[in-house]
Amino acid sequence: MSSPDLTLPSFAHSIIRHRQLIWRLVVREVTARFQGSVLGVAWMILTPLLTAAMYTFVFSTVFRTRWGVEQTGPFDFAILLLVGTAVHGVFAEAVARAPGLIVSHPTYVTKVVFPIEILPIVAVLSSLVNAGITIAIVLIGQMLLKGVFNWTFVLFPIVLLPFLIFVLALVMLFSACGVFLRDLSQVVGLLVTFSLFLTPIFYPLSAVPEPFRTVMRLNPLTSIVEQSRTVVVFGGLPDLFSLSIYMCLALVSLAASFWLFQRLRPGFADVL
């Protein structure tokens, strides 16, 4: 049995070669979420709207969080909140699934010839559906209620791309380790919860005391949330220099995660 290729270009080649399979799996996962439900895909619109309404009431009315001159009312808060939750939702949905990703598909490992290295990218792409719908709600809301249309929203994919690569690296790492460390799902669950409150989603970064602000900037979600709001809500341009650095670090992380995934891969069948 030949040893698996450990290089990142081989992973890219596998994605290209199995792109149709990836697409079918993503479509199957998304449609399976709402099979048998009364409202079906309408939940994909209702869920972010109801969640934003609840958070807006709690944080803008009860705790009276303000974003400064950019925010003039609850609608502005809700818009900023939706963008933040859209970005965090990609991270939360994909990473939370990661420890059980291989474990939940044992037949792919033990009984059929299947490119299991594509499962992490299926998880990441599936998590993008809700984020895309949420951003669409933001754009429609701005146009209908404020008459604002920021063309810079087309740059949102540029902001999101390095973040997706970083999330893919985490999913690949946790999915491989989750086969051998079953308690990892508990740790990852805590990580996802902590990240929700340690990322400037419900509050602006400027509200964080200065001694802690530098530490919070090290959170890999912080800069993406901030830049997403810049291009989607405020009509500004992204910081391409910081995104370039983020991209380089994300690619290094993905290369390391893929290397570990391939090294651990021969042992998956023995454990499952």
* Whole-number pLDDT of residue 205: 86
SS3 66: coil
* Whole-number pLDDT of residue 202: 86
Residues 177-180: contacts with CB within 8 Å, 24+ apart? 177/99, 177/260, 177/264, 178/98, 178/99, 178/100, 178/101, 178/102, 178/103, 179/102, 179/103, 179/264, 179/267, 179/268, 179/271, 179/272, 180/264, 180/267, 180/271
Of 156 and 215, which is predicted with more confidence? 156
Give dist(CA 123, CA 145) in Å, integer.
34
* Whole-number pLDDT of residue 88: 95
* pLDDT tens, position by position, 140-183: 888 887 888 899 999 999 999 999 999 999 999 999 999 999 88
Of 36 and 94, which is predicted with more confidence? 94
Least confident of 43-57, 158-172, 198-212: 43-57
